[in-house]
Structure 1
């Protein structure tokens, strides 16, 4: 098969790899029909994520058609169209039983926190991802779901991570009716978080970013107020002024650590693989939310060694809530919103790129070229 393969920082290419085999009776092999590049893939692309090995295939957002199933699989059969959540999880451990699918205890021997994630380094289990023609899907009776007949493929694709994660970010904010919600980051997850905040009763939604084309999307797609932080001496002071000097009720960090990393991290990356940069957006969230408010975090963070203003959060009496999104838990309500016409996830897709051109796709997305917000990868095209 053809697959995207990592060859080192900023180096990805398409190569021939063996089609993955069934390794366990509960496996399925899925022929990928659509995949996507996620903002968190840039941590891998830039070489900032620990234990990202040469030869790995990235991609935790994908849908496809079941090609083959193991002898224990009961819920799927060859020919089924399926959407696959980015979480790999067993469905039966202590954490899965409580709906914490992203914290599964049985799928990742290398971490005590996160469970398994497709195509996201050996820190997250070492599973190859879906930026390829075929992918092995473990626990096939647990994760994948049939794509409803009424759902478009691109909408289903965005339900595998970006949309549920944004919705989860708004959910973690514990939004009350009339709340002012500020979202840091107008990438796909931030856009979905802003849109979702309205569903939960927000009275005002503000989005902060530095790229004008993404802020325009926040205005048209998420109907949010927007501010470009480069236009203000101190965006936190401006947000205080804009909220009657109290602060927002809820702040959502949809940025995480900057995927570009800072200079020191690039110098040291080969040795200690620090992920991301300083948690600027998280500190802005802590500073700009009102006393007694809530900060929701679902941006990508790894083992960073930068100062988070924890003392400020303590003294302000803030509630901090965070996790990797348990994707499948969000699906029933999101299916309703899409079917009722309240939400069209694929509205944020800006580019459709053949798998053979994925190296150019990564470069474009990383360098923010051509007003790229969400690139979709099409195996077999081009």
Structure 2
């Protein structure tokens, strides 16, 4: 099969790899019909995530058709059209029993924190991802779901991570009716978080970014107020001014490790590989929240030792909530919202790229070229 293959920071290729085989009776082999490049894939692409090994295939957002199933799989059959959450999880451990699928204890030998994630380095279990023509899906009775006949393929694809994570980010904020919600980051997750905030009763939604085309999408898709932080000497002060000098009730960090940061953070992260990016967005979130407010973190981070303003969060009495999204837990409500017309996930898709051109897709997405917000990858498997 043809698959995207990692060859080092900023170096990816499309190469021939063996079609994955059934390794366990609970496995399924999925022929990928659509995949996507996620903002958190850029952390891998830039070399910010530890133990990202040469030869790995990225891609934790994908849908497809079941090609083959192991002998113990009862819920799927060849020919089924399925969407696959980015979490690899067993469904039966202590954490899965409590709906914490992203913290499964049985799918990652490094499972001190995160469970398994497709195509996201060996710190997340070392599973190959779906930016390929075929992918092996473990615990196939637990993760994948049949795509409803009425659901568009692209909308299903976006439910496998970006939409679910944005919704989860708003959910973690514990938004009360009338709350002011600030979202840092107008990428796909930030856009979905802002849109979801309205569904949870927000009275005011503000999105902050530095790219005008993304802020325009925040205005038209999420109906949010927008601020370009490059236009202000201090965006935190501006957030205080616009909230009667109190701060926002809820702040969502949908940026994560890709925040620009200062020179020291840039050198220690992207050059020396000593930490997984910059905490600047998280610190802005802490500073922008009102006393007693809530901060939700769904932007992806590697290990960060640069000073996070934990003392400020403590002294302000903030509630900080964060996790990788337990995707499948969000699906029933999201399907309701989509069917009722409150959400149209693929409104943010800007590019549809053949698998053979995925290197150009990564470059375009990473360099913010051609007003790229969300690129979808289309394999050519037959």
Short-chain TM bin:
over 0.9
Q: Which residue is equivalent to 1:130?
A: 130
Instruction: Tell whether the 8 Å contact from 1:259 to 1:275 is kept in structure 2 after alignment.
Output: no
**Structure-2 separation of matches of 1:75 and 1:112:** 30
Q: TM-score, normalised by structure 1?
A: 0.97
Offset of residue 110 of structure 1 = 1.7
**Structure-2 separation of matches of 1:369 and 1:253:** 23
Q: Which residue is equivalent to 1:265?
A: 269
**Structure-1 separation of matches of 2:69 and 2:144:** 12
Q: Which residue is equivalent to 1:290?
A: 290
Offset of residue 259 of structure 1 = 6.4
**Structure-1 separation of matches of 2:94 and 2:137:** 22
Offset of residue 10 of structure 1 = 0.4
Offset of residue 111 of structure 1 = 3.0
Listed one character per residue, the Cα deviations across residues 258-281 of structure 1 (whole Å, up to 9, x for unaligned) are 267712323312xx5x322x2111
Listed one character per residue, the Cα deviations across residues 100-154 of structure 1 (whole Å, up to 9, x for unaligned) are 0000000000231000000000010000000000000000000000000000000
2:258 alignment partner, SS class? coil
Offset of residue 312 of structure 1 = 0.6
**Structure-2 separation of matches of 1:35 and 1:197:** 26
Q: Which residue is equivalent to 1:83?
A: 83
1:311 alignment partner, SS class? helix
**Structure-1 separation of matches of 2:380 and 2:368:** 25
**Structure-2 separation of matches of 1:91 and 1:248:** 37
Counterparts in 2 of 1:160-179, with a 5 A limit?
Answer: 160-179=160-179
**Structure-2 separation of matches of 1:265 and 1:65:** 39
**Structure-1 separation of matches of 2:255 and 2:192:** 13
Offset of residue 304 of structure 1 = 1.2
Offset of residue 353 of structure 1 = 0.2
Instruction: Tell whether the 8 Å contact from 2:83 to 2:144 is kept in structure 1 after alignment.
Output: yes
Q: Which residue is equivalent to 1:139?
A: 139
**Structure-2 separation of matches of 1:290 and 1:311:** 15
**Structure-2 separation of matches of 1:299 and 1:42:** 12
Counterparts in 2 of 1:173-252, with a 5 A limit?
Answer: 173-252=173-252
Runs (5+) with no aligned partner, structure 2: none
Q: TM-score, normalised by structure 2?
A: 0.97
**Structure-2 separation of matches of 1:360 and 1:247:** 41
Runs of 4+ in 1 over 6 A off after TM superposition: none
Instruction: Tell whether the 8 Å contact from 1:36 to 1:375 is kept in structure 2 after alignment.
Output: yes
The answer to whether the aligner puts 1:18 opposite 2:22 as a matched pair is no
2:257 alignment partner, SS class? coil
Runs (5+) with no aligned partner, structure 1: none
Listed one character per residue, the Cα deviations across residues 178-214 of structure 1 (whole Å, up to 9, x for unaligned) are 0000000000000000000000000000000000000
**Structure-1 separation of matches of 2:271 and 2:169:** 33
**Structure-2 separation of matches of 1:5 and 1:308:** 34
